[in-house]
């Protein structure tokens, strides 16, 4: 059972032909950001609904050139003092731990990122030297790609090295794999994170309540001593409604995950159709604040080159 996730990671829908066959449609076309849909996620999609909110996240739309969109909206490379490490904020660094994702989300701001050039695992010795020589850094964030595409063994080795840096108190792991391939939440992974010597924060990336499968819901509640937070991206046609966002927050809380961030779209070329205007986002957010207890309302933020800026 515990090894199923590696099989599932390989057995994905990866071409327009395979998707059209699976969904019995002609909607898919091969696109610049290649299609990748794990079967665990594909099976949650309603094949009879062309507007299914999960389907919309993985299918491309005709290009609608719009000003302000670019291939690299956050310019990560500006903040990489060494290969594989992003240092934008005083007290924390982000490691590009993997180039692999379980799914290709068509709104992804890193879809054009040069992962080959920036691999934290192969450059780990230099990264550790950098962190050790910057004693103000107290948090390491594992990102990617998706850090959970690493094997449990590699992840355990990496976490142990990070734990042994005296001034690192917090480890944060950002993952979409956990929800789109819930078989990835192995008993070994649960053990590694639950027994860490430092504070572990697992940030799931979940945009819609339909992504919460029974397997995920059961597995995520097995973690101990791990803070569970969620971040979503506000996506037109997927989750830009108060009822959907309220339901997501409520159900996340029921399974022990606190809604943390609601990101405005990063303006990457090809994702124009997902954009919710600032004005509409603000209106929606105010209604959300009136509908939910404060602790269920994620913070509405926009990533800018230097900061995740809280809005409204």
Contacts with ligand SF4 by CB under 6 A lie at: 101, 103-105, 108, 110, 144-146, 176
Q: Which is nearer to ligand SF4, 144 or 259 (CB)?
A: 144
Q: Which is nearer to ligand SF4, 71 or 135 (CB)?
A: 71
Residue 289 CB burial class (10 angstroms; 0-12, 13-18, ≥19): middle
Please state the closest distance from residue 260 (CB atom) to ligand SF4, in A.
15
Q: Closest Cα to residue 12, out of 28, 36, 41, 45?
A: 36
The torsion region of residue 216 among left (phi > 0), alpha (psi -120 to 50) and beta comes to: alpha
Q: Which is nearer to ligand SF4, 142 or 168 (CB)?
A: 142
Q: What is the DSSP string of 128-147?
A: HHHHHT-TT--EEEEESS-G
Taking a C-beta distance cutoff of 8 angstroms, is the pair 237, 212 a contact? no
Residue 85 is given by DSSP the state: E
**Strands (DSSP E) along the chain, which ranges?**
12-13, 37-38, 85-89, 92-96, 139-143, 170-175, 199-205, 226-233, 258-263, 299-303, 308-310
Please state the closest distance from residue 146 (CB atom) to ligand SF4, in A.
5
Please state the closest distance from residue 233 (CB atom) to ligand SF4, in A.
8
Please state the closest distance from residue 301 (CB atom) to ligand SF4, in A.
16
Contacts of 299 (CB under 8 A, 6+ apart): 260, 261, 262, 310
Please state the closest distance from residue 108 (CB atom) to ligand SF4, in A.
3
* Spatial separation of the C-alpha atoms in residues 81 and 134, rounded to whole Å: 12
Bridge partners (DSSP) of residue 301 are 263, 310
Please state the closest distance from residue 129 (CB atom) to ligand SF4, in A.
27
Taking a C-beta distance cutoff of 8 angstroms, is the pair 100, 148 a contact? no
**What's the alpha-carbon Rg for the chain, to the nearest Å?**
19
Q: Which is nearer to ligand SF4, 69 or 296 (CB)?
A: 69
Q: Which is nearer to ligand SF4, 145 or 168 (CB)?
A: 145
CA distances from 66 to 106, 122, 270, 303 (A): 16, 38, 10, 19
Q: Which is nearer to ligand SF4, 39 or 254 (CB)?
A: 39
Please state the closest distance from residue 189 (CB atom) to ligand SF4, in A.
17
Q: Which is nearer to ligand SF4, 165 or 201 (CB)?
A: 201
* Spatial separation of the C-alpha atoms in residues 177 and 16, rounded to whole Å: 22
Please state the closest distance from residue 160 (CB atom) to ligand SF4, in A.
25
Q: Which is nearer to ligand SF4, 12 or 292 (CB)?
A: 12
């Amino acid at each position: 059972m515990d090894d199923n996730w590696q099989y599932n990671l390989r057995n994905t829908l990866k071409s327009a032909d395979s998707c059209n066959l699976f969904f019995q449609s002609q909607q898919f076309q091969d696109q610049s950001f290649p299609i990748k849909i794990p079967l665990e996620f594909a099976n949650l999609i309603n094949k009879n609904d062309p507007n299914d909110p999960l389907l919309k996240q993985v299918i491309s739309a005709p290009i609608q050139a719009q000003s302000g969109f670019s291939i690299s909206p956050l310019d990560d490379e500006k903040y990489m003092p060494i290969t594989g490490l992003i240092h934008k904020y005083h007290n924390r660094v982000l490691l590009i731990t993997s180039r692999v994702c379980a799914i290709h989300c068509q709104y992804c701001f890193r879809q054009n990122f040069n992962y080959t050039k920036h691999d934290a695992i192969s450059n780990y010795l230099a990264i550790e030297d950098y962190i050790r020589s910057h004693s103000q850094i107290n948090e390491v964030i594992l990102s990617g790609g998706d850090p959970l595409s690493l094997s449990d063994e590699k992840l355990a080795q990496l976490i142990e090295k990070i734990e042994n840096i005296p001034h690192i108190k917090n480890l944060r792991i950002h993952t979409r794999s956990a929800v789109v391939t819930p078989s990835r939440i192995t008993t070994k992974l649960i053990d590694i994170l639950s027994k860490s010597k430092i504070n572990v924060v697992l940030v799931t990336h979940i945009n819609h309540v339909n992504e919460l499968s029974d397997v995920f819901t059961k597995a995520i509640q097995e973690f101990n001593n791990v803070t569970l937070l969620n971040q979503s991206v506000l996506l037109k046609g997927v989750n830009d409604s108060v009822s959907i966002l309220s339901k997501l927050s409520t159900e996340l809380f029921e399974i022990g995950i606190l809604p943390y961030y609601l990101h405005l779209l990063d303006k990457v070329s090809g994702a124009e159709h997902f954009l919710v205007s600032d004005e509409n986002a603000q209106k929606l957010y105010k209604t959300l604040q009136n509908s939910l207890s404060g602790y269920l309302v994620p913070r509405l933020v926009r990533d800018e080159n230097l900061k995740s800026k809280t809005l409204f």
